Chain A
Amino acid sequence: MRRGGQVWAWFWMILGIVYFFLPLVATFLFSLRAKLGVLSFVAYQNVLSDPDFVYSFSASVLWAVLTMVVGILIFVPTAYVIRLRLPQFRTPVEFITLLPFVIPAIVYVFSLVRTFSRPPLLIVDSPALLVAAYTVLSMPYMYSAVDTGLRAIDVRTLTEAAQSLGAGWGTILFRIILPSIRVAILSGTFLSFAIVMGEYILAQYLVKPAFAPYMAYLIQQKAYEPAALAVVSFALTWASMGIIQLFGRGAPGRAQVAGGH
């Protein structure tokens, strides 16, 4: 590359890093100033010892885990069947999976409330509705991750090889396809996890305990604690990413999956 080009490349990269990290560093420094005149972790202590924090955070973790499980159970078989038997449905299904990007969450949640708060489907109070809604919200990430993973392996031939060795559908799906796209599924589920952990509108309007509404509530009440909470949630997201990397490293299916990205 030309020398001038290299200088500009560095310039833009540093600018990007500053743009991303500056607010984060500022938030972190601010969160340390809860005690006048000294830097301390008092705000973190306050937040972490608040029973409301523990309650809303563990509620969000529960929603996120349920969303991950439901997502795997729905999207892995769907993407698999479409790859194997119904390739003509790939484009319409891809379009449908992208709908959560197009439809604003506020519109989505009001339509849910309207539809499910009257008979015959009076389930607006059920946690299942929230998990279902989160599953829809995580669909673009989950489906495309799984689909990319499937594209990297020869789904049809692997299926046929397993069939010729006597395997039924359950064995094929859970012993061959699922482990072969483990890394892709992990990246999809952790993205879903991060989405659910930070989601505000659905939990707020379906009136369920969750981390983001708690954070919003805290912002209105306190100064330093919300900043500490923001840093904590960032750390969580990064930990998720780290776990993806950790699981991905040295995984047997890695060579194949990495080829597809």
Chain B
Amino acid sequence: MAYLVLDHLRKAYGPALAVDDFALEVEKGEFVSLLGPSGCGKTTTLRMVAGFEVPDHGRILLDGKDITDVSPNQRHLGMVFQAYALFPNMTVADNVGFGLKVAKRPKAETTKRVEEMLGLIKMPKLGDRYPYQLSGGQQQRVALARALAISPQVLLLDEPLSALDAKIRVELRVEIRRIQQELKITTIYVTHDQEEALSLSDRVVVMSAGHMEQVGAPSEIYNFPSTPFVASFVGTLNQLRCKVVDVGQGKLSYDGQIFETRAPVRGAQGATVTVMLRPEQMHIGSLSDENQLTGKVEMVTFLGSIVRVRVGLGQATVVLDLLNKRSLELPRVGEPITVSFPPHACWVMAEA
């Protein structure tokens, strides 16, 4: 049996269903992210694990024990909040040692553990500061140390980086992953930021409207999305409405231009299907043995390492990403352009 089992959880607030039929098994030491737009039920799910919300239906098992009805202060889980939630009346060291003090651990042990934790978050000399004397990033590090000090069975993080600057966010993201791997602690991480979820997790759970859409490794979620929602929510996606020309050979037609796909085509000849393509799978220029479509350059956005080009293809607009090089000649707005992509790069969804 898995270390943490969320057994068909369901939670409604009046008529509004927040989480429905959420079933997930998390292995010991695994890092799982719950990813989705706001209101998708990811935070409610995390709060049910923490014990701040009681599920209407379903059970939560931790290490084989049913903890569904255990109060939050008996669950022995560490939690990090978006708003840091450091105790303003206590120093950093007192904050970190709070859980141990509550558990009435010997003073020497608490002091040692606090030092250890402050070392772990690379803030060994700031123990006597108060929270209001720290930056946001530092406060969140302390919150992480405080949650980890009690050696929790599971670490829960609720959008911990959302309130921070972009640069600090990336730095702290790396730190969180490093610490998690160092301690091998089972972690559930809630975020609406796909980059965070993809870069941190062993597995990602994509959620929408209270439901689980897909569970899988980050590369699986990105490259093989199983529902249209996952495909469009994770990463940028081009969608082209095409007609089926030949089901067996995977031939499709877009705006009179014929191309091929290796993906299975569900739909009879003449039916309309949606073809999906990631921007980084497309190139400018015609390459033999690749599909080609012609259109017109609509916009060129320089993003540093990447140049994003919007190309008008008949009714639709597609976005493609070029890796920047010094020798790269940027396409000009308004000029005709040929874009190509390999047949295996696109996948097809039948129209509902």
List chain A residues, Cβ under 8 A from B130: 252
**Shortest CB distance B129–A (Å):** 10
Q: Is the CB of A167 within 8 A of B73?
A: yes
Interface contact B87-A158, CB-CB below 8 Å: yes
Which single member of B72, B86, B91, B103 contacts A164 (CB below 8 Å)?
Answer: B72
Q: Is B309 an interface residue (CB 8 A)?
A: no
B224 within 8 A of A: no
Residues of A within 8 A of B72 (CB): 160, 163-164
Closest Cβ neighbor of A153 among chain B residues: B88
B89 near A167 with CB under 8 A, answer: no
Is there contact, CB below 8 Å, between A166 and B87?
Answer: no
**Chain A, residue nearest B131 (CB):** A252
Q: Give the residues in chain A near B98, CB-CB below 8 Å.
A: 162, 165, 167
Asked if A154 and B85 sit within 8 Å, CB to CB, the answer is yes
Bound complex: CA A168 to CA B90 (Å): 18
Interface residues on B, range: 20 to 34
Q: Are B81 and A252 in contact (CB under 8 A)?
A: no
Interface flag for B50 (CB, 8 Å): yes
Given contact pairs A160-B72, A161-B79, A167 touches B85 in the complex (Cβ within 8 A): no
B73 A164 Cβ-Cβ under 8 A: yes
Q: Which of A162, A164, A253, A256 touches B78 (beta carbons < 8 Å)?
A: A164
User: In the bound complex, what is the Cα–Cα distance between A179 and B130 (angstroms)?
Assistant: 14
Contact with A along B56-91 (1 / 0, CB 8 A): 000000000000000111111111010101111111
8 Å CB contact of B76 from A153, A166, A255: A166
Instruction: Please state if A160 and B102 are interface contacts (CB–CB under 8 Å).
Output: no
Closest CB of chain B to A68's CB: distance in Å? 20
With A and B bound together, what is the CA distance between A153 and B87 in angstroms?
A: 10
Considering the chains assembled together, what is the distance between the CA atoms of A201 and B156 in angstroms?
A: 57
Q: Among the listed A154, A162, A167, A256, which residue makes an inter-chain contact with B132, where contact means beta carbons less than 8 Å apart?
A: A256
Report A148 CB to chain B, min CB distance, Å.
Answer: 15
**B73 to chain A: which residues have CB within 8 Å?**
162-168
Q: Mark A155-180, 1 if CB is under 8 A from B, else 0.
A: 00110111111111001000010011
Chain A proximity mask over B137-162: 1 for CB below 8 Å, otherwise 0? 00000010011001000001000000
Given known A164-B77, A166-B102, contact A253–B85 (CB-CB < 8 A): no
Residues of A contacting B132 in the complex (Cβ-Cβ under 8 angstroms): 252, 255-256
Interface residue? B52 (CB, 8 A): yes
Q: Considering the complex, give the chain B residue whose CB is closest to the CB of A251.
A: B89
Output the residue of B74, B98, B156 with the most chain A CB within 10 A. Answer: B98
The reply to whether A157 and B83 form a contact with Cβ atoms under 8 Å apart is yes
A165 touches B102 (CB 8 A): yes
5 contacts between A and B (CB under 8 A): A154-B85, A161-B146, A164-B77, A164-B156, A182-B89
Binding site for A on B (CB under 8 A): 50-52, 71-79, 81, 83, 85-91, 98-99, 102-103, 130, 132, 143, 146-147, 150, 156
Interface residues of A (CB under 8 A from B): 153-154, 157-158, 160-168, 171, 176, 179-180, 182, 252-253, 255-256
